[in-house]
Structure 1
Amino acid sequence: MKKIICSLTVLLAVVFNSYASVPKKVLDTATFATGCFWCTEAKFQQLKGVEKVISGFSGGHVANPSYELVCTGTTGHAEACNIIYDPAKISYDELLAAFFVAHDPTQLNRQGNDVGTQYRSAIFYHNAAQKQKAQYYISKLNTEKAYKNPIVTQVVMYKAFYKAEDYHQNYFNQNGEQPYCKYVIQPELEKFKKVFKDKLKQ
């Protein structure tokens, strides 16, 4: 019996050490608001290294708001997405590049026909490095006059994120035949995929 216990102890130690030697995947989060979160989600889901995109609300003063309440424009929240990504496969810089392509950052409190503060352009930074990079790229794009008008994207500290109702999650993939998906999201998504054709999931 002692011999068996000893053998099992050695075996468990070997197994434990083999697991310990495998580097764990370390994920990070970017939180962006680019107008309608259905559009944001659909675009960032395409990128290699993005593990998950969660639609929700951020930047406001009301806890656990409903979609209907956010739509009134009284909560201070923006429709936003938490983008969970693997930094070993896609960098925050690349996600910022996607952010500035995914929408028009010069439109104040709107994207296309979606109007209101809940549709504002915003980067909710999680740390000093994200803040510095966001500010750097905005300054660079404005200096180079990449857009006809100045960028109005807010760069604000991430404080809270409230997940939207379940029917908003993975919306485009589950509702592709809906008119908004077909005539608004689909054309935007195709343009996005052309720009990032070398960064798309297979």
Structure 2
Amino acid sequence: MAHELATLAGGCFWCLEAVYDQLQGVISVESGYLGGQKDNPTYEEVCAGSTGHAEAIRITFDPTVVSYRELLEVFFSIHDPTTLNRQGHDVGTQYRSAIFYHDQLQKKTAEEMVALLNKDRTFPAPIVTQITPATSWYEAEPYHQEYYAKNPYQGYCTAVVGPKMVKFRKLFLAKLKS
């Protein structure tokens, strides 16, 4: 079976990339930008909030090992999908919670998961995650790729990425790459 793509935004892309790099069935993870109005935006432009892009990751995965639904289960466990345009101290539309679907099955799976999580009151507030079609993808600058792996002791990494990694490893121990 062919590999598939999943594209997600949930705050800083360093956090999401670090988590998904560790998940069985994930072939690769790239940090980048999508969902905005400018071609080839830079990190500085996206951070300024003027382009409309979200910091996001594009996951190439093997659906025979990890399902799209399982990718979403991880997604909803490692960020707060109830805060509009923010994750913790990261504020702005570039940090929004979003699922950028690549086909109608991904759209349906995402909508069903959000409906179920809201129905079960998994979170203390309604989910505000956007579910929109994947648009043009712009890979982030090279220094953003594998940022946590290369900079685990950088301040943001120890304060924000590290705790998400601990939570992920605890919740998904059986699904970690060996």
TM-score over 0.5 for the alignment?
yes
Letter in 1 for 2:144: H
Counterpart residue number, 1:83: 59
Q: Distance in 1 between matches of 2:54 and 2:155?
A: 23
CA RMSD of aligned residues (A): 0.7
Match of 1:55 in 2: 31
Partner of 1:144: 120
For residues 187-198 of structure 1, the aligned pairs below 5 Å read 187-198=163-174
Which residue of 1 is the match for residue 74 of structure 2?
A: 98
How far residue 76 of structure 1 moved from its aligned partner, in angstroms, is: 0.5
Q: Is residue 2:72 matched to residue 1:72?
A: no
CA distance in 2, matches of 1:100, 1:187: 15
Q: Distance in 2 between matches of 1:181 and 1:133?
A: 31
User: Which runs of structure 2 are paired with 1:26-45 in the superposition (5 Å)?
Assistant: 26-45=2-21
Q: Which residue of 1 aligns with 2:141?
A: 165
Larger relative contact order (Cα-Cα within 8 Å, sequence gap ≥ 6):
2
| Equivalent in the alignment of 2:152 | 176
Distance 1:132 1:150 in 2: 18
Q: Which runs of 5+ in 1 are unaligned?
A: 1-24
Aligned to 1:19: none
Q: Report deviation, 1:175.
A: 0.6
Q: Structure 1: how far apart are the matches of 2:75 and 2:26? A: 13
Superimposed CA distance per residue, residues 103-131 of structure 1 (whole angstroms, 9 cap, x where no aligned partner):
01001100000000000000000000000
Aligned residue pairs total 178
Higher helix share: 1
Q: Normalising to structure 1: TM-score of the pair?
A: 0.87
Match of 2:96 in 1: 120
Larger gyration radius, structure 1 or structure 2:
1
Give the letter aligned to residue 90 of structure 2. D
Partner AA of 1:138 in structure 2 = V
Counterpart AA for 2:101? Y
Secondary structure of 1:88's match? coil
Moved over 4 A (4+): none
Distance of 1:128 and 1:182 partners within structure 2: 38
Q: Distance in 1 between matches of 2:112 and 2:162?
A: 31
Q: What secondary structure sits across from 1:135 in the alignment? A: helix
Work out whether 1:133 is the aligned partner of 2:109: yes
Give the alignment's TM-score, normalised by structure 2: 0.98
